[in-house]
Amino acid sequence: MKKKSYILFLFVLALPLWACNDSDESEQLNGDPIVKTETLNVDKTSPLSDQNSVIYELNVGSFTTEGTFTAATTKLNDLRTLGIDIVWLMPIYPRGGGINSPYAATDYQAVNPSYGTISDLKTFVSKAHSLGMKVWLDWVPNHTATNHRWVTEHPEYYVKDANGNIIHPNNYGDVYQLDYTNNSLCDAMNNCLKYWIDQADIDGYRCDYISSPAIPASYWQLAIPMLKAHKSSLIVMAEGDLTDTNNKRLQNVEFDFDYAWQFQEGLLFNQFGSSGTNASALQGNLESFLSASQALSNDRMVYLTNHDQNYNDGGRSLKEMYGDNTCALTTLVFTLYGMPLLYNGQETGNDQILDYFNDTKIKWTVGDRKVNNTIRTLIALKHSQKALAHGNSNQRGNIRFLNTGNNSVIAYERTKDDNTVVVLLNFGTNQQNIRISDITSGEYVQWIDSKTIAAGPVSKQVKLNSSDPIVIGTKGYAVYVKN
């Protein structure tokens, strides 16, 4: 009989210290230090399936010193080495409206001239495809820049007030509201969406501000099937949380992914953040998140940060948002549920705030090796373990929280067929000595040890059971796969 393979994840809660600091105490198992290790090759891994993918949000202007498609193309090999499967390009269109927002386009069928040409974009996409990566474009359906060419060519495409003046949505002075009661506008938007499939062979769209009340669900009910008829493999993601009451009207319009917005903004940042230590309360909130997520027909994207969290509201770096909980929460994002997102240089561990209006350049030196090696190893785990596949058909019923008997520590396992992953996270302010009463006893391979990961990814053979203690340091985290 084929042996079952299990992965164990352990998370511990601690004080906010940047970036992923452990105590000086050596992590131990059953009271004895684990010393036999083997180097893990975590580079250039490929996913078992599309449901084992990792997505990367890339701002062309920030990604290289040159800020061009051509320069970004030369760095695609670096993303392939990291293990990225999908590259989501932030808006590539010419910018207008007066404040240089990438979300204020002046022409949906052109590229920002500072980035290069449409031919350069085609080369970027072609190179990504040759490396096994897909490319999504950021689509802005709700509004255009106030100087978009349609303002003069097709003023009927816009919503107007009683005096005939075009409306600014949400008082955004640089953009005008599009009118989805106008069938010609709907046709024009659909033609623009098909344009990029035809011109550059793009693989998907991240659709901005789909929660806008000005865009009816009926538009998406027609547009998404139309796009998939044009390219059957196309993926469409909603920038909005479809578990939110205001967005329930969009739950059945065939978005493939939505943002788990309340998971990041509501739960991980607002309710936990840099000072959170109560793992029991966090687990309760995670169980509610899973219940709400599994009621959706679409899959979900999960993340610690993106361009909104990083730059808007005055700028919030990962250090400011999560402090010394950063690495444990990163592990949570990659192993609990959904498709994980990395944002624009997050993998380096540099604590930057990137002004995407002015294309702040990413510092490509590694700022924190613990962050970098943790992310590299988590991508390899996501790629290689069936139990970590996303997609609700894969995730329903395969997540089980384990009993640690400790308010600072979360442990859970995910199982798919003959593969089980166990994760342990300590968010406490001290080293924790725990027993997991309902763990499956046996031999495991430890893929991540928070005490040693800064020096590089290594694995080690360990034995786990319900009676012997596991000792894990302050803010420690560990991931195990059962032999």
pTM of the model: 0.93
Confidence check: pLDDT of 330 > 90: yes
Element (H, E) at 56: strand 55-58
Q: Judge whether 291 lies within some domain.
A: yes
Strand order in the sheet with 32-33: 32-33, 28-29, 470-472, 432-434
79-94 pLDDT tens trace: 999 999 999 999 999 9
Q: Judge whether 366 lies within some domain.
A: yes
Q: Judge whether 191 lies within some domain.
A: yes
Mean pLDDT of 171-185: 97
* Angle 278-432-4 from CA coordinates, rounded to 5°: 95
Q: Judge whether 299 lies within some domain.
A: yes
The pLDDT score that the predictor gives to residue 20 is 59
Q: What is the DSSP letter of 360?
A: P
Where are the strands (E) in 427-457, listed by range?
432-434, 442-449
3-33 pLDDT tens trace: 444 444 444 433 333 445 554 334 455 444 4
Q: Domain of 197: which CATH number? A: 3.20.20.80
C-alpha distances in angstroms, 285 versus 108, 264, 288? 40, 12, 5
Q: List, in sequence order, every residue forming a beta bridge with 58; answer none if it has no partner.
A: 89
Q: Judge whether 308 lies within some domain.
A: yes
Q: Judge whether 108 lies within some domain.
A: yes
Percentage of the chain lying above the pLDDT 90 cut: 88
Place of tokens 């928070």: 450
The pLDDT score that the predictor gives to residue 17 is 36
Range of the domain at 175: 46-392
Q: Judge whether 168 lies within some domain.
A: yes
Confidence check: pLDDT of 470 > 50: yes
The pLDDT score that the predictor gives to residue 27 is 46
Burial readout 410-433 (b: 16 or more C-beta within 10 A, e: otherwise): bbbbbbbeebbbbbbbbbbbbbbe
C-alpha distances in angstroms, 419 versus 129, 385, 398, 415, 463? 30, 7, 11, 6, 17
206-238 pLDDT tens trace: 999 999 999 999 999 999 999 999 999 999 999
Domain count, the chain: 1
The pLDDT score that the predictor gives to residue 363 is 95
Q: Judge whether 69 lies within some domain.
A: yes
Distance, in Å, from the CA atom of 419 to the CA atom of 386, rounded to the nearest integer, reads: 6
